[in-house]
Amino acid sequence: MLTEYPLDRVAILEYARKWAFERNPAFYDFSSLGGDCTNFVSQCLYAGGAVMNGTPDTGWYYYSLDNRSPSWTGVEFFYDFLVNNRGVGPFGVEIPTEEVQLGDIIQLGRENRFYHSLLVVDKIDGMPYVAAHSKDVYRMPLYGYIYERSRGIHILGSRKFETDLPQ
């Protein structure tokens, strides 16, 4: 049986602060392979208690450079996993960018594709401030980016099998 639980948003934010300008050696740095932004945001969710979903190809997991899901590092795959996930792992809903909360995600896009994932680490007067990799930033206001469109992903929590719960 699957059990839903909230993620630890404080742990998510602490991880983002610690690793915004560095790379955790437990994970490959994808900066030279198209960008490290979604990898960084995935790590933040994992640090907040999200359980990996090891379903080949369609899950959300990172075991090594050669054994990871497209959703761990790919912007569109990450979005699709989060908003459609009904199984193990983190899940969320798309929301307007102005409604994001700390620990939520913003994705930036142009024309018909989204290309960048950001983690919301602060909000001041309604303006989201973000942390990200690729262009490493921490507490950068969203207005510091040039983009045509954006979407927010509100993280509702994660799911795991009841047998995985601490006794």
**Least confident residue range of 3-7, 54-58, 139-143:** 54-58
pLDDT in tens, 71-125: 999 999 999 999 999 999 999 999 999 999 999 999 999 998 999 999 999 999 9
pLDDT band at 27 (very low <50, low <70, confident <90, very high): very high
Topology of domain 2-164, CATH: endopeptidase fold (from Nostoc punctiforme) (3.90.1720)
pLDDT, position 139:
97
Q: Are 81 and 73 contacting, i.e. CB atoms less than 8 angstroms apart?
A: no
pLDDT, position 34:
87
pLDDT, position 167:
46
What are the extents of the domains in the chain? 2-164
